[in-house]
């Protein structure tokens, strides 16, 4: 498995930085020379003072500046007042270089890493804290933003989603499989030779496309075709921090040396490929969501991570090139939107009519772990599909413990039981050996045995490699308490299976009891191949990041979930399916898990919806996906949480699991204009400067603040946070507007399921539409009584609001959170 997906499928995997990569449109398409040689974090939803946060930021810069030297340089993204360029400068780049020169010492070379023109106005450069402070004082400089390093979030899914080529009508047929739409994938690049990217039967490249296919020594002129119509790479930010890349281990080109980008691109828009499988598992037809959509690959992630300056450059190029959808399976720390390069780039894209979907992150099952939470971004969590790969553990006491695994090498002898040991009992450093870290296992202790290894620190597949090197014949990968019962498949290099936390405890108990009775523990692993029709499904994946939204709890995140567990898709030829250097196997497809895999499902669906409804805005497309999503599994019950088997909540799945067929005809949509987002930012108490950084607009917030509050953004969900402060009764209201995209002369009636302990009323209770495109408003009032809570604690209750005309059900969750301040 990809090292990035390893990281993102669980917080216990070894971290890899996520980096954004961009190329100056005024420079060569190759990476600029530098001037010098995937875990999720979260915070409480407390940012409400942008000026205070800027003060803290610049006081920190002042502190650093007192001892700053050239060695302490880091990359900053600089927002500039675009129209203030003096006429003496022929280009903005020349102006930016002059601005840089004015704050640098005479002996320091001026190096602009990227110039941004499409989604952002400004540039990025490597500066010391002192230089950043000086640059901030220039009259045309609006903001100086420190760069973040980010991480990647890492078929049967089309059938599971109801996308069938045999249907005479439906989303695939109505959209012509997305044939004229372009999906830009910002990731680790692409392996263009894969059959998922063939262009057989495709028409000419859309005339609107003005992007390029950058050629290099390892990415020739024939790499692009009528399917893969664009490919770029961005590494200036990466190399500015890490020095010149090692081209023996990664490609200075759009070519994918990791596998993650190839995988996500083929999920979004891979062609039909038969036969398809990974090591004989998941046999069938592989296909992306929009099989005829065109692809453009923007490589921004490298061995050391993905850097904001490069990510922003990729957004800039993608929008300028003419993409319709941007898919970003990358995430990082949640910060205010005006300091978040992804939020900034995404706003610029949405402002140009480009739909942006991003992975919610793999920090679950804990709360407040969701990332990429800007309301103009579709934030995608992960669920399971009705397929798994059972590999059970048969213990010497006769018990059979369920697990999952993929392996096709020399198998364990049928009917034979092997000695079973816990890696942490082998002497030496018990902690390192329990995790099966490199060099931690005593060959005399594990040789010829099946070894139980705990998850954490190194990747899951790497643990199997450690066991194999030490002479072990098999491995059982044990979830910890935090991991819960969620299981992720890996293509291991020896017979191996993964078991949940409770079953891992049972195996340890068996090993301990066997040791005390002087009867050695034994076991074997029984691989059962591919199992279809699994129930229940979908289930919210254990690793999928959860709400509430740590930045703006009034906006429910994630928005929806989509298939993200054990997904088959195309793979690079650079590394084996385990992602381990010693793995010399090569495969056309691989099975990966993560919100990285869920995100491109929605990206492809968005392309289909855009093709079927070219007049829809990005917000309308997201609304269609959200209001038609479902929350019940294939048993007819509310989806469960994989981590503990309990019923899941709106903080786990948002509006629910995507339902593509219904999304094509949602009846009503909640549309949002860029100016609506500006009003939202005003109600966040952002300064005019903050808003200009994000939106490139000079905002007048007086009207927005008179009109309402944060929750009045025309979002397809309703979320309110009540601070009790000793109050007995609290209330708020929401104003919403829906647009009729269904039938003329339709009447919608409202059904309310209020959260427990609340009173919810809607005015009017009936909406009468005379024509398609007509817009009508309604008001929702929510009243809640105080509940008994400990200081600093909170409680959440959810309900729903549904508009129905007997043909369409337009559903929105209602979330009421009660907080007791300290």
Query: Which residues 6+ apart lie within 8 Å of 511 measured at CB?
Result: 420, 421, 422, 425, 452, 521
**pLDDT of 2 higher than 90:** no
- Both tokens of 432, joined, read 């390192």
pLDDT at 176: 54
Round to whole Å and give the CA distance between 749 and 810: 10
Helix (H) or strand (E) holding 125: strand 122-127
Average pLDDT over residues 91-114: 91
Residue that has been written with the tokens 């939803």 in this structure: 45
**pLDDT of 162 higher than 80:** no
Average pLDDT over residues 22-26: 26
Higher-confidence residue: 302 or 61?
302
* CA torsion angle 68 70 72 75 (round to 10): 120
- Both tokens of 310, joined, read 């490069």
Instruction: Kindly give the interhelix angle for 129-136 and 50-65, rounded to the nearest 10 degrees.
Output: 130
pLDDT at 702: 83
Higher-confidence residue: 20 or 298?
298
**pLDDT of 14 higher than 80:** no
Round to whole Å and give the CA distance between 683 and 700: 11
The β-bridge partners of 763 are 779
pLDDT tens for 205-214 read 999 999 999 9
- Both tokens of 463, joined, read 């643990």
pLDDT at 38: 31
**pLDDT of 364 higher than 70:** yes
Count the neighbouring beta carbons within 10 Å of the beta carbon of residue 389.
23
pLDDT at 157: 43
Average pLDDT over residues 505-521: 93
Average pLDDT over residues 376-387: 96
Average pLDDT over residues 481-503: 93
Query: Which residues 6+ apart lie within 8 Å of 525 measured at CB?
Result: 391, 392, 393, 394, 403, 405, 412, 450, 474, 476, 495, 496, 497
pLDDT at 451: 97
* End-to-end alpha carbon distance in the chain: 45
Going by pLDDT thresholds of 50, 70 and 90, the confidence category of residue 491 is: very high
pLDDT at 560: 98
Helix (H) or strand (E) holding 762: strand 758-763
Q: 538-547 b/e with 16+ CB inside 10 Å = b?
A: bbbbbbbbbb
Round to whole Å and give the CA distance between 459 and 39: 12
The β-bridge partners of 420 are 450
Going by pLDDT thresholds of 50, 70 and 90, the confidence category of residue 17 is: very low
pLDDT at 411: 82
Round to whole Å and give the CA distance between 336 and 55: 14
Going by pLDDT thresholds of 50, 70 and 90, the confidence category of residue 48 is: very low
Give the predicted TM-score (pTM) of the model.
0.89
pLDDT tens for 30-45 read 353 333 323 233 233 3
Cis peptide before 729 (omega within 30 of 0): no
**pLDDT of 784 higher than 70:** yes
Lowest pLDDT segment from 1-5, 173-177, 645-649, 762-766: 1-5
Q: Which segments of 541-678 are extended strands (E)?
A: 560-563, 567-570, 589-592, 668-669
Higher-confidence residue: 725 or 336?
336
Rg (alpha carbons) of the chain, rounded to whole number: 26
Round to whole Å and give the CA distance between 54 and 60: 10
Count the neighbouring beta carbons within 10 Å of the beta carbon of residue 137.
9
Round to whole Å and give the CA distance between 529 and 280: 8
User: Three-state SS for 165?
Assistant: coil
- Both tokens of 383, joined, read 């669920």
Angle at 164 between CA 160 and CA 166, to 5 degrees: 150
Count the neighbouring beta carbons within 10 Å of the beta carbon of residue 745.
10
Going by pLDDT thresholds of 50, 70 and 90, the confidence category of residue 182 is: very high
Higher-confidence residue: 107 or 527?
527
User: Three-state SS for 231?
Assistant: strand
State the DSSP code for 541.
Answer: -
Going by pLDDT thresholds of 50, 70 and 90, the confidence category of residue 4 is: very low
**Which positions are annotated as active-site residues?**
187, 260, 596
Average pLDDT over residues 522-540: 95
Lowest pLDDT segment from 141-150, 427-436, 593-602: 427-436
Q: Are 570 and 197 in contact (CB under 8 A)?
A: yes
Residue that has been written with the tokens 């990041």 in this structure: 545
pLDDT at 3: 41
Cis peptide before 676 (omega within 30 of 0): no
pLDDT tens for 188-199 read 999 999 999 999
Distance of CA 38 to the CA centre of its chain: 11
The CA distances from residue 127 to 75, 79, 379, 690, in Å, are 6, 14, 32, 21
pLDDT at 441: 94
The β-bridge partners of 78 are 123, 144
Percentage, residues of the chain above pLDDT 70: 88
Q: Are 655 and 626 in contact (CB under 8 A)?
A: yes
pLDDT at 482: 85
Round to whole Å and give the CA distance between 345 and 559: 19
Q: Which segments of 402-552 are extended strands (E)?
A: 418-422, 450-454, 474-478, 496-499, 522-527, 531-532
pLDDT at 518: 84
Percentage, residues of the chain above pLDDT 90: 79
Higher-confidence residue: 152 or 452?
452
pLDDT at 178: 58
Count the neighbouring beta carbons within 10 Å of the beta carbon of residue 731.
12
Round to whole Å and give the CA distance between 637 and 634: 7
Higher-confidence residue: 189 or 287?
189
**pLDDT of 53 higher than 50:** no
pLDDT tens for 532-590 read 999 999 999 999 999 999 999 999 999 999 999 999 999 999 999 999 889 999 999 99
Mean pLDDT of the chain: 88
The β-bridge partners of 476 are 452, 497
pLDDT tens for 305-328 read 999 999 999 999 999 999 999 999
- Both tokens of 812, joined, read 């929105």
pLDDT at 757: 94
Residue 690: phi, psi to the nearest 5?
-60, -45
Order of all β-strands in the sheet with 809-819: 718-723, 809-819, 794-804, 746-753, 766-769
- Both tokens of 647, joined, read 């019923």
Average pLDDT over residues 482-490: 90
Q: Which of 225, 196, 371 is nearest to 285 (CA)?
A: 196
- Range from 63-72, 240-249, 768-777 that averages highest in pLDDT: 768-777
Average pLDDT over residues 261-289: 93
User: Three-state SS for 692?
Assistant: helix
The β-bridge partners of 576 are none
The β-bridge partners of 41 are none
Q: Are 216 and 253 in contact (CB under 8 A)?
A: yes
pLDDT at 429: 75
According to DSSP, the β-strands at 775-785 and 758-763 are: antiparallel
Q: Are 302 and 335 in contact (CB under 8 A)?
A: no
State the DSSP code for 402.
Answer: -
pLDDT at 22: 26
pLDDT at 67: 42
Average pLDDT over residues 229-237: 98
The CA distances from residue 663 to 334, 378, 610, 668, 714, in Å, are 29, 14, 11, 10, 18
- The alpha carbon dihedral of 449, 450, 454, 460 has a sign of positive
Round to whole Å and give the CA distance between 90 and 585: 54
Round to whole Å and give the CA distance between 218 and 225: 16
- Both tokens of 136, joined, read 């901030």
pLDDT at 106: 81
């Amino acid at each position: 498995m990809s090292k990035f997906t390893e990281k993102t499928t669980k917080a216990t995997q070894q971290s890899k930085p996520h980096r954004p990569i961009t190329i100056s449109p005024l420079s060569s398409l190759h990476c600029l020379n530098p001037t010098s040689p995937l875990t999720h974090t979260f915070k409480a939803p407390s940012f409400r003072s942008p000026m205070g946060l800027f003060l803290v930021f610049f006081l920190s810069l002042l502190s650093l500046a007192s001892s700053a030297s050239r060695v302490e340089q880091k990359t900053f993204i600089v927002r500039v007042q675009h129209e203030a360029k003096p006429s003496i400068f022929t280009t903005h780049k020349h102006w930016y270089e002059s601005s840089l020169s004015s704050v640098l010492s005479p002996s320091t070379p001026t190096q602009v890493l990227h110039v941004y023109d499409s989604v952002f106005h400004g540039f990025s450069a490597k500066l010391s804290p002192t230089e950043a402070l000086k640059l901030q004082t220039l009259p045309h400089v609006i903001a100086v933003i420190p760069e973040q390093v980010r991480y990647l979030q890492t078929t049967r899914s089309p059938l599971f989603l109801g996308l069938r080529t045999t249907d005479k009508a439906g989303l695939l047929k109505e959209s012509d499989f997305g044939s004229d739409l372009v999906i830009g994938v910002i990731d680790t690049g692409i392996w263009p030779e894969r059959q998922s990217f063939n262009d057989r039967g495709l028409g000419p490249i859309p005339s609107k496309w003005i992007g390029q296919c950058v050629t290099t020594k390892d990415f020739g002129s024939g790499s692009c075709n009528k399917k893969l119509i664009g490919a770029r790479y961005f590494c200036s930010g990466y190399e500015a921090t890490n020095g010149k890349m090692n081209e023996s281990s990664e490609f200075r080109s759009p070519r994918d040396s990791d596998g993650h980008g190839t995988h996500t691109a083929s999920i979004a828009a891979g062609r039909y490929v038969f036969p398809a499988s990974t090591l004989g598992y998941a046999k069938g037809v592989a296909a992306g969501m929009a099989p005829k959509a065109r692809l453009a690959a923007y490589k921004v992630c490298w061995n050391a991570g993905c850097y904001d300056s490069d990510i922003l450059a990729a957004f800039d190029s993608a929008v300028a090139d003419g993409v319709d959808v941007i898919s970003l399976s990358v995430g990082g720390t949640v910060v205010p939107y005006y300091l978040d390069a992804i939020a900034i780039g995404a706003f610029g894209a949405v402002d140009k009519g480009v739909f942006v979907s991003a992975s919610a992150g793999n920090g679950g099952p804990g709360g407040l772990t969701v990332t990429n939470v800007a309301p103009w971004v579709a934030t995608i969590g992960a669920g399971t599909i009705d397929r798994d790969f059972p590999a059970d553990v048969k213990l010497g006491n006769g018990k059979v413990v369920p697990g999952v695994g993929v392996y096709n090498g020399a198998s364990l002898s049928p009917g034979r039981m092997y000695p079973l040991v816990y890696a942490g009992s082998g002497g030496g450093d018990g902690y390192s050996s329990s995790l099966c870290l490199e060099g931690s296992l005593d060959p005399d202790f594990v040789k010829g045995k099946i070894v139980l290894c705990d998850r954490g620190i190194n990747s899951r597949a790497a643990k199997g490699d450690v066991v194999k090197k030490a002479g072990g014949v098999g491995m059982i990968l044990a979830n910890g308490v935090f991991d819960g019962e969620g299981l992720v498949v890996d293509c291991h290099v020896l017979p191996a299976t993964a078991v949940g936390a409770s079953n891992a405890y049972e195996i340890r108990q068996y090993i301990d009891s066997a040791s005390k009775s002087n009867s050695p523990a034994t076991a074997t692993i029984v691989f059962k191949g591919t199992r279809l029709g699994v129930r229940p499904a979908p289930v919210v994946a254990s690793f999928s990041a959860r709400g509430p939204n740590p930045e703006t709890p009034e906006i429910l995140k994630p928005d929806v979930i989509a298939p993200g567990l054990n997904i088959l898709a195309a793979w690079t030829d650079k590394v084996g399916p385990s992602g381990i250097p010693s793995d010399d196997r090569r495969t056309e497809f691989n099975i990966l898990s993560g919100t990285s895999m869920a995100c491109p499902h929605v990206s492809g669906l968005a392309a289909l919806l855009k093709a079927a409804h070219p007049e829809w805005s990005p917000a309308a497309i997201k609304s269609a996906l959200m209001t038609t999503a479902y929350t019940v599994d294939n048993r007819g019950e509310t989806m469960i949480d994989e981590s503990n088997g309990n019923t899941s909540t709106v903080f786990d799945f948002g509006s629910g699991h995507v339902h593509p067929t219904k999304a094509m005809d949602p009846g009503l949509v909640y549309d949002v204009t860029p100016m609506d987002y500006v009003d939202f930012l005003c109600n966040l108490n952002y300064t005019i400067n903050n808003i200009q950084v994000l939106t490139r607009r000079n905002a007048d917030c007086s009207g927005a603040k008179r009109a309402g509050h944060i929750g009045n953004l025309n979002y397809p969900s309703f979320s309110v946070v009540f601070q009790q402060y000793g109050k007995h009764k609290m209330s708020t209201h929401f104003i919403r507007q829906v647009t009729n995209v269904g039938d003329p002369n339709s009447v919608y009636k409202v059904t309310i399921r209020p959260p427990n302990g609340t009173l919810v009323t809607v005015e009017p209770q009936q909406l009468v539409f005379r024509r398609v495109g007509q817009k009508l408003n309604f008001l929702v009032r929510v009243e809640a009584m105080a509940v008994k809570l400990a200081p600093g604690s909170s409680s959440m209750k959810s309900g729903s609001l549904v508009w129905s005309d007997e043909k369409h059900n337009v559903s929105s969750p209602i979330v009421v959170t009660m907080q007791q301040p300290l």
